[in-house]
Amino acid sequence: MMRALYKAFFAVLAGIMVSAGAFAQTRFGGIVTVDKTVHDWGDVTVKDGPLSCSFSVTNISDGPVMIRTVASSCGCTGVKWTREQIAPGQSGTIEATYSNDEGPYAFDKTLTVSFVGARKPLILHLRGVVHPKKMPLKDTYTVQFGQIGFREAEMKVGNLSQGEQKSSQVRVANVGKKEITVSFEDVSPFLSFTPAELTIAGNSTAMLGVTVTADRSLWGRNLYYATPLVNGVRQDGRVSFAAVTRENFDSWSEAQLASAPSAEYDGSFAADPVQAGSPIKASFRIANSGKTPLTIYKMDFNGTNIAVLRSATSIKAGAKAVYEFEMETTGMKPDGDNLGIITLYTNDPRHSLIHLYIDVIIL
C-alpha cells in the first residue's frame, strides 16, 4: 500500500515538473528570458468577454533590469507590468487584457516591451480567433494529418537575431474522439519541440512549444520542417515553421559601432508602364560610406518572379555596387498589388535589413 502511494506521489510530482518546464524560454538581449512570446487563446466566441493572460520575465543578467514601458498596438488591449527593478535571478510579470469587443475575426495584437539600457524592444503577440458561436474543431483546424489538425500548413515562429533562440506556441487540435499522442520525426536542424510527445484528449486542443535556434549558416527567411506522428504512426505530409534571422548587434562595443559599415541607397525603382507578360529590369546602387566592408548575407524576395542579374556579397568601405533584377509580370493585373520587394540582410547596424522596391504599373 505504502509503495503504491509513493509511486502515485512521484508520478504526480513528475507530471508537475514536466508541465512546469514544458515550454522553452526565449532569451532576449542577454538580459532576460521570457516564458513565451505568443499567447494564443485559440477559438473563442464574442460572448466570452475580455480575455486576459500574463508573461513572465526573468532577469538572467548580473545587474538589475527594469521594464521601461509596454505599449499595445491598439486601444483594445490594456497592459500592466512590474514597475520595480527586477533583481538578478528574479522575475517580473506583464499582464494583458484584450477587450474582445471588435466582433468575430482573427486577431494578432502586439505588445512592445522596452527595457532600460536595451537597444531594441521585445515584441510579444496576443492571438486568437473570435467566432460568432462555438465551431467544431474540424472546421477551424483544417490542415489535418489523421486525427491532428493545424490552422495553417506554414506557421510563423517570428524574428530572431544570431546567437538567440525564438520560441513560440502552436495550438494543435485532436479532431477525433480518442486521446492521441503527437510527436515528430525528420525534424529540420535548429528546430525543436516541447514536449517531445504531446498528449491531446479527444475533441480538444493543446499547446505545442516550438523553438528555432539561430545559426550563422541560415539568414533571412527560412522554413523548418517536421513530419507528424500520431501514436507513433507516421502521417503523410509535413508541417513547416517560418522564422526570419538577422544580425545581432547587442554585444557590439562603441568602437565597433563607430567603425561599422553604413549603407547608402535609394530603395525605390519606378518602372515604365508595361503590358502584362513583359519583363522589367530594375537597377539599384548601394554605397558603403562606413569604415569596414558591408556584407550581404542573403537576399529574400516577396515572390518567385524576381531573378538576380547582378549582385555583390560584399562592398568595401568607400565603394559602391550595382544590383540588377529582372521581374516577370505574367499574370499581373492593372489594379493588382504588383510591387516587387527584395530584402537584403546585412552587417550594417543601421540597416540590418535593406528593402528594395520595384514599383510596377500594368497597362
Q: Across all residues in the chain, what is the average pLDDT? A: 91
Which residues, at least 6 apart from 269, have a Cβ–Cβ distance to it below 8 Å? 282, 283, 284, 356, 357, 358, 359
In this predicted structure, what is the pLDDT of residue 190? Answer: 98
Q: Which residue, of 106, 135, 164, is where some domain finishes?
A: 135
- The predicted model gives 112-118 an average pLDDT of 93
Average pLDDT of the residues in 259-265:
98
Q: Higher pLDDT residue, 354 or 250? A: 354
Residues 159 and 128 in one domain: no
How far is Cα 78 from Cα 97, in angstroms, rounded to an integer?
Answer: 5
The residues that bridge with 181 in the sheet, in sequence order, are: 199
Question: Average pLDDT of 195-211?
Answer: 96
Per-residue confidence (pLDDT) for residue 360, from 0 to 100: 94
177 shares a domain with 265: no
314, three cell numbers:
560584399
Q: What is the mean pLDDT of residues 212-229?
A: 98
Together in a domain, 223 and 311: no
Paired strand residues for 110: 125
CA distance 118 to 188: 32
Residue 7 DSSP SS3: helix
Q: Let me know whether 27 and 60 are in one domain.
A: yes
Asked whether residue 329 carries a pLDDT value surpassing 70, the answer given is yes
- Of the three residues 251, 280, 313, the one that is the final residue of a domain is 251
What is the average pLDDT across 7-36? 58
Is it the case that residue 131 has pLDDT exceeding 70? yes
CATH number for the domain harbouring residue 277:
2.60.40.10
Indicate the residue among 96, 118, 135 that finishes a domain: 135
Question: For 68-85, how does the pLDDT look when each residue is reduced to its tens digit (9 = 90+)?
Answer: 999 999 999 999 999 999
Tell me if 12 is assigned to some domain. Answer: no
Same domain, 154 and 234: yes
Which grid coordinates are listed for 226? 517536421
Prior bond to 121 cis, omega within 30?
Answer: no
- Asked if residue 208 is part of any domain, the answer here is yes
Q: CA-to-CA distance for 294 and 310, rounded, in angstroms?
A: 17
- The region, left, alpha or beta by phi > 0 then psi within -120 to 50, assigned to residue 83 is alpha
- In this structure, the answer to whether residues 262 and 245 fall within a common structural domain is no
| Separation of alpha carbons 119 and 115, rounded Å | 8
Same domain, residue pair 142 and 129: no
C-alpha distances in angstroms, 146 versus 173, 175, 194, 222?
Answer: 11, 9, 21, 27
Q: What integer is the mean pLDDT of 285-310?
A: 98
Residues 226, 193: Cα–Cα separation, whole Å: 10
Structural domain that includes position 37 = 22-135
